[in-house]
Structure 1
Amino acid sequence: MTAADYKTIADDWERRATIRTRPRRLLEDDDKLIYPLCRQPLVLCATFIEHCPQWRDFVLAQSFYKFINDVVIFETEIVDQTARGIAKNRFSVPFPLACRIDAMTVVVDEDYHALVALDFLQQTVTMTGIQPLSLPQEIELSRALPAAQAQVPAHLHDAVALIGVAIAENTVTHDVAAFSKDASVKASVRGLMADHLADEGRHAQFWTRLVRLYWQAASANDRDSIAKVLPIFLARYLTNDLQKNFDLQLINHLDISSPLRDALHDEVAALAFPITRQHPLMGNILGFLQHSGLLQTPSVAQGLADYLHVAGRVA
């Protein structure tokens, strides 16, 4: 792909962006869930089901708050920063004006997603009376990007951010899609996820095209340097440590006996999350690496194969 071959998303954004086409969604006061049971392993623990079912709605509300908090961090602190740098031509990797305009549509979308998420948080607090507990200040991507950037020359920091954000945007689409189809969840929340998905599908295409454009122009040395840190990025991105820590802290806020609390701690702490080729998000990542051209680079293919082999043995 060359700059002349780049296909803009601007026209699609004008027709379909949720900020242009969707009304405000209002939370229903019905018996549907605010958050899917399948996304919160704590409420599916045998001990919880038997002894703590009365705390289910509290745990799901707090899990929803964390999800919203994660969305806001992801959209406004990471994706926004990278897209804004491209749009304002402050990225170390220069892109044509058409790419920069598309990047600004991503900035607008992501800030709007954060606004809608915070609106839903406020609606949920008002309806349930459940106040959010202390929420994490970072997400997995907040750790993965700096760790990878620290292992490459300074001139590649922006490129690593570009590829890391592209990987995340291509995996979050799958995650949001599953959320939007769960019939046990309130219709407005599923609608929120469907709106998000409509924009993220376009974003995933944008980031994939941008990475492909960058990768074709990158030197062999730069490609190999980035290939070496992709496993570092993936190891820190594909983890549930932050979620597990949040769940353990959440248990401490339940008004239950100490033995029961200890039992829940043990069950949550024992939950495994192996990083293998069967990881639920690995298929999306491999698809992105293929479509962006990275996987055709021998050093990327070899590094990824070695990483999956080691991860599989560890799991």
Structure 2
Amino acid sequence: MEGNTNTNTNKEIGVEWRINMGDGTSRVLEAESRFGLQRFVSKVGGFFQRAWRLGVNEPKKSIHCVKVGLALCLVSLFYYMRPLYDGVGGNAMWAVMTVVVVFEYTVGATLCKCVNRATGTFLAGALGVGVHWVASQSGERFEPIILQVSVFLLATAATFSRFIPSIKARFDYGAMIFILTFSLISVSGYRVEKLFEMAHHRLSTIAIGTSICIITTILFCPVWAGTELHNLIRNNMDKLSDSLDGPILPAEAKAGEAVTLVEVVPLVTVSSLLIEIAARTEKLAGAVNGVAEKAEFEVETAEEAKRGQSSKGGN
């Protein structure tokens, strides 16, 4: 009877698995549900909590998301309104794509991308129309050959320019847009009769998209990179000053004696300087030994030194 009672008690209570934490406490390991539904729901809830904290702590990022949505709504009017759609034709999608890929968090980054996209599209369109005219004048037989050679040469040169540090830092996006636009115009121009009109429509739609991005990012809660950098430096300096003013308790201090970090900084500075001096002294000694070996200096023994001194005294 007593054994049955203990067995029933264990079945009712169940076995608990505990995990020892770093702070000395223990936590019960909860068993996962059969299909992992509870775990999935907890992860989704944790994700939304982190997203909410991000939006509360940094409201400018939430405003940036609203600005992107507003710019897309404005550029979509070229599809919904018939007069605007008739003005740009079926290439209105290029304006939507421009807003998606060009809109950035800061005003400067958006302007840089807009200039890169407009410049790359204009240069590629002009070269594409010029190459197509040259190829069409050379005859139907040599036209595809000239187009393929031009695409190969210009795409290769533009791709190589993206590896140059000065161009990669400022015009990497423009070089990529140049390759894309020139390839599209050169390839599609072989079957399209009104190539100049198509290039004109695409350039105008890209100009519309970049203009909407610039107007939206400047007029509605603009974010300037210089101001953001200034605020970031100020916040970091405030945190550093708080940490310097805060009391610490080193291992050598007695119980109840608080030592500020300002008092420890000179000792740490002197220690780092001594370590640096010792390291440089070792390097200097090694260099002197190397020079001595290359010059084949002979080490004078004690006996030879005594003989030399005696000979000098006799003279």
Q: Same fold (TM over 0.5)?
A: no
Give the TM-score range, shorter chain. Answer: under 0.3
RCO greater where, 1 or 2, for CA within 8 Å and sep 6 or more?
Answer: 1
**TM-score normalised by structure 1 residue count:** 0.22
**TM-score normalised by structure 2 residue count:** 0.22
